[in-house]
Each structure stands twice: as structure tokens, then as C-alpha cells.
């Protein structure tokens, strides 16, 4: 925490801004009236997602089903792991007002804190692009989502990998995946430093067993096995639903073309692996590995959102975190092309869902034209090219 405060005065200003935004969003959610949704028999609170998390811990401790409707306590299903439900238990013990504020605070401040744990960022650019995180973070908080927490864990894993803290990096990646399973794609990072793979595998087995089994301290083995089974069933069902704000959604919106999901995901994964090939084939300096880890980890943060057909507007805080990291990197030039892309991201991806635009235009930007996703796609292509170029020219 000392480095967080001592690096630059702007860091303190950002902290205050993030705190004020958290208080404001929490107040707005608590003061908002519940709404009536079609085919739902009870009013749905503005912070419905938080209620899903809040009651999951209670259900776990009482060995109640986690993955069925919990009407009328909240609308929709809990979709995270049983271990995650256990972690949410303290929020069930707290009054809703206090719990919601702390939940929002974690999701807002953890990415900001993690931003200051990364090696190789330009201080001035980092603090400016932190404002991107602030603006997009508000959108995520208005949905009381967990995306800020996931982003913070994955950003911290990049910092741990840069410092060769293999065990810490493995734990952070696994923890993120127990919330949203796509976080496990970050294990690709260990291909940057192949000699760390055996150690990472040992840590991975150990921490996986610990994280999966820790609910056994409170629940029976049969119950836990059953809930894990239902969790994987639920994840499988999610993969068959309609397209949201993603690369596939953009293809459908602009070209009326919907390729097979699995085929597209496989191609996207191959594309993401290509820059690693050049790193695996040769030895690289410690500085080169540290800098490439930042660039590659940042691109992964964008990849997991862009190629997830179920990405929602609130999910984009993860991609914005990746963009903020990448374009703050010391080895990444800020040229006119970069500025133009960042401007597109700010005006369309970040501000697109906000009240700065009239409602009809806002709907057209986000839903009809998929212009929330498009600037992120353009940013990702530039990020991929620079990762590829760096991997070939820096040893």
C-alpha cells in the first residue's frame, strides 16, 4: 500500500474519485424503486445481482440447492462455484446497506489497487487511463456485478507473474476462475516462462484441491459433489444461449453472419497463442519477459470479453482494464492511431450505455450496432499486432 500512495499524487486523487463514485452508485441503487419485469411475479430490486450473491452463502451453509430460483428473495440464478458461495457468506450476515457498499467498494477499488502492482507502466498515462476504469466501473457497479473483483484478481496475477511469484499467480488465476471460469485462460501466461510450468502445475493441483474442498468444512461431501455437478450443467447451458455484446454479436449485427461458437473460439485461441510461439522458441532477458508479460496479460483481459458470446455491458470493465494496462506500458508508443482508438473506446464503449446519449441513440450504439464491442475489437487487433511484433523483436 505504501507504493500506492507514494508513486504519484494523482493516485490519491483517483482513490478519492473511486470512493466517491462507489458511495454515489450504492446510494442510487439503495434509493431506486424495485421494478416489475414481464413474467416475474414479484418486484426486482435494482441491486438484484448482489442479492443473488448475498443469499448464496446462506443456501450453501444450509445445504439448499444453489442453482435454482430463489423467489422471491431475488430474480435469476446463482452461476458461480460453491466455493464462491462460501466466500459470499459474510455478506449474508451484514445488513444489506452495509453489504452492498462493501461489495461495491471491493469491485471498484481492487482494480485500482492492482493497477499499482504492475511493473512497467508509465505513471502519467496509468493515472489518466485509471479514469477509464472509473467511468466503466460505474456501469459495472450499477449492475452490482462481480466483474471488478475478477479484473482485480487477474491484474494482480499479472503483477505476481512479473515478479516470478508462481504460487501467488496460480492462486489468483484459480480464484478468478471459481468466480468466472474464463479467468483460467490466464494459465497461458506460463508459456512465456516455460521453466515455471512444472512448479505452476504443482501449485495448480494443490490450490485447486483446496479451493474445491474448502466448503467441506461446513457441508457434507455428497451435497458438495451434487452442487459442483449442477454448476457444470449450468455452465453448459449458458454456452447455448443467444449472443450478447461480443465479437460474435458484432458479426451478427454488421454482417448477419454467425459462425459456430466452438469453431470461432478455437480460432480465436490459436490467434492468441501465436505471439507466445516466438517466446517459447528462444531464451529471453528478464526485462523482456517482464515487459511482454504486461502486454500479453493485458491482451488476455480483452480476449476473455471479446470472444465470450455472453459478455454483457457490465463485463466490459475487464476489457477496459486490459486496454488501460496495455496503453500505459513503457514499451507501447502513444501515437495518433492509439489516441484515435482510445477516443473511440471512451466515446462508444465507455459512454455508449450512459445517459450522455439520448435513450434511442444509446440503444442503437450498444445493442443494434454493437458499437460498444467494435472499438474494443479494434483495440484488440492493435494489441495483438504489438504483442506479435514485440515477441519477434525483443529477446
Could you give the number of structural domains in the chain? 1
**Per-residue pLDDT, 237:** 74
pLDDT band at 163 (very low <50, low <70, confident <90, very high): very high
pLDDT band at 132 (very low <50, low <70, confident <90, very high): very high
Residue 204 and residue 384: Cα distance in Å, rounded?
A: 27
Quick: pLDDT tens for 46-70.
Answer: 898 999 999 999 999 999 999 988 8
Quick: pLDDT tens for 351-372.
Answer: 999 889 999 999 898 888 899 9
Contact by Cβ (8 Å): 191, 185:
no
Quick: pLDDT tens for 304-328.
Answer: 999 988 888 899 999 999 999 999 9
SS3 134: helix
All residues at 6 or more sequence positions from 288 whose CB lies less than 8 Å from its CB, including other chains: 394, 395
**Per-residue pLDDT, 5:** 46
**Per-residue pLDDT, 39:** 73
Residue 311 and residue 239: Cα distance in Å, rounded?
A: 11
pLDDT band at 1 (very low <50, low <70, confident <90, very high): very low
Q: Where are the alpha helices (DSSP H) in 328-373?
A: 336-344, 359-363
In 3D, which of 235, 237, 234, 213 has the Cα closest to residue 225?
213
- Higher pLDDT: 280 or 72? It is 72
pLDDT band at 331 (very low <50, low <70, confident <90, very high): confident
Note if the pTM is more than 0.95. Answer: no
Give the CA dihedral 173, 56, 23, 137, nearest 10 degrees.
Answer: 40
Domain of 106, in residue numbers: 2-393
Quick: pLDDT tens for 259-305.
Answer: 888 899 999 999 999 988 877 766 677 888 889 999 999 999 999 99
- Higher pLDDT: 137 or 41? It is 137
Residue 49 C-alpha cell reads as 445481482
Amino acid at each position: 500500500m505504501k507504493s500506492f500512495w507514494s508513486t504519484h499524487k494523482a493516485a490519491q486523487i483517483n482513490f478519492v474519485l473511486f470512493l466517491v463514485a462507489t458511495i454515489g452508485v450504492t446510494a442510487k441503487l439503495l434509493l431506486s424503486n424495485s421494478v416489475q419485469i414481464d413474467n416475474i411475479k414479484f418486484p426486482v430490486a435494482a441491486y438484484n445481482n448482489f442479492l443473488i450473491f448475498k443469499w448464496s452463502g446462506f443456501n450453501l451453509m444450509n445445504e439448499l440447492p444453489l442453482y435454482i430460483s430463489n423467489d422471491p428473495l431475488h430474480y435469476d440464478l446463482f452461476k458461480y462455484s460453491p466455493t464462491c458461495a462460501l466466500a459470499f457468506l459474510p455478506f449474508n450476515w451484514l445488513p444489506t446497506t452495509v453489504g452492498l457498499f462493501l461489495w461495491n467498494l471491493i469491485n471498484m477499488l481492487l482494480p485500482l489497487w492492482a493497477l499499482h502492482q504492475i511493473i512497467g507502466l508509465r505513471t502519467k498515462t496509468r493515472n489518466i487511463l485509471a479514469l477509464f476504469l472509473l467511468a466503466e466501473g460505474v456501469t459495472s457497479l450499477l449492475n452490482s456485478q462481480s466483474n471488478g473483483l475478477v479484473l482485480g484478481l487477474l491484474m494482480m496475477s499479472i503483477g505476481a507473474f512479473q515478479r516470478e511469484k508462481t504460487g501467488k499467480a496460480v492462486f489468483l488465476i484459480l480464484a478468478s476462475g471459481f468466480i468466472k471460469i474464463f479467468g483460467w485462460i490466464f494459465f497461458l501466461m506460463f508459456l512465456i516462462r516455460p521453466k515455471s510450468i512444472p512448479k505452476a502445475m504443482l501449485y495448480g493441483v494443490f490450490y485447486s484441491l483446496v479451493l474445491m474442498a474448502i466448503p467441506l468444512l461446513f457441508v457434507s461431501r455428497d451435497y458438495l459433489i451434487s452442487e459442483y455437478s449442477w454448476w457444470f450443467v449450468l455452465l453448459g447451458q449458458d454456452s447455448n444461449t443467444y449472443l450478447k455484446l461480443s465479437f460474435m454479436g458484432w458479426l451478427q449485427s454488421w454482417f448477419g453472419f454467425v459462425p459456430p461458437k466452438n469453431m470461432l473460439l478455437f480460432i480465436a485461441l490459436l490467434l492468441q497463442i501465436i505471439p507466445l510461439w516466438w517466446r517459447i522458441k528462444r531464451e529471453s532477458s528478464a526485462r523482456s519477459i517482464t515487459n511482454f508479460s504486461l502486454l500479453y496479460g493485458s491482451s488476455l483481459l480483452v480476449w476473455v470479453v471479446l470472444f465470450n458470446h455472453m459478455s454483457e455491458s457490465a463485463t466490459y470493465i475487464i476489457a477496459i482494464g486490459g486496454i488501460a494496462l496495455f496503453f500505459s506500458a513503457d514499451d507501447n508508443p502513444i501515437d495518433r492511431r492509439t489516441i484515435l482508438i482510445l477516443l473511440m473506446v471512451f466515446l462508444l464503449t465507455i459512454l455508449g450505455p450512459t445517459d450522455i446519449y439520448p435513450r434511442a441513440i444509446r440503444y442503437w450504439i450498444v445493442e443494434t450496432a454493437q458499437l460498444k464491442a467494435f472499438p474494443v475489437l479494434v483495440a484488440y487487433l492493435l494489441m495483438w499486432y504489438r504483442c506479435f511484433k514485440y515477441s519477434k523483436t525483443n529477446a
